[in-house]
Amino acid sequence: MSRFPTDQEAKELICDIGRRIFEKGLVAANDGNITVKTGDNAIWATPTGVSKGYMTPEMLVKLDLQGNILKGTHKPSSEIKMHLRVFNMNPLVNACVHAHPPVATAYSVTGEWLDQPIFAEAIVMVGVVPVAEYATPGSLAVPESIAPYCLDYNCVLLAHHGALTWGTDLTQAYHRMEALEHYAKIHMETIGLQKPARMLTKAQVDELIAIRTTVNNGSLAGGIPDNRR
């Protein structure tokens, strides 16, 4: 029996998990992305610019582990590169989920690892949760930032960005995302953030404004955050 789902099974699973992370508030708008392996050198991935709560199987994209598109009419997310890094570094991983769980992301803003033994289920489900160095979303720096954690951990917080979880199948990767946010909520209620928020630098903000302009078809609307406060 193959350890991989069929193409159709993978696409249906991705759409189901997409709806779940959307309905639970783990993503907003078009945030997040999901991948599932269907062979040693093949994955199905969510498309860019589509809400995870409204995806259909026809929207998904099939790629090889080098990022080449094999099937599909949509483009994959620019953040597919961090998924590919996990798959290429850790052969036990068959699925990844990237989301922006609000409380866990708050820890990514302060740079605090979730590594205190306060909740039994978190130790079992996710273990230690490291925080990768900040990298501009969608850039090649993102997979480089998570590389130190792909083999020895089950998930990672992306500084100022969100979280990435992985597993032997998509159900496990999704459950780890749920468990991560649950752990973060319990940590927040009992211990709380121990460090102040770290503001993005002006150069980092400028990079994000450039991405915003591209996403908004050239519009400059939205204002510029002030990191001096």
Give CA separation, 13 vs 16, 42, 97, 158, 214, in Å: 5, 16, 12, 25, 31
CA-to-CA distance for 49 and 137, rounded, in angstroms?
14
Active-site position among 9, 23, 58, 79? 79
Which is nearest to 48 in space by CA: 67, 58, 37, 61? 61
144 catalytically annotated: no
Q: Which residues contact 223 (CB under 8 A, 6 or more apart)?
A: none
Question: What values do phi and psi take at 51, rounded to 5?
Answer: -60, 135
Number of Cβ within a 10 Å radius of residue 193: 14
The residues that are catalytic are 79
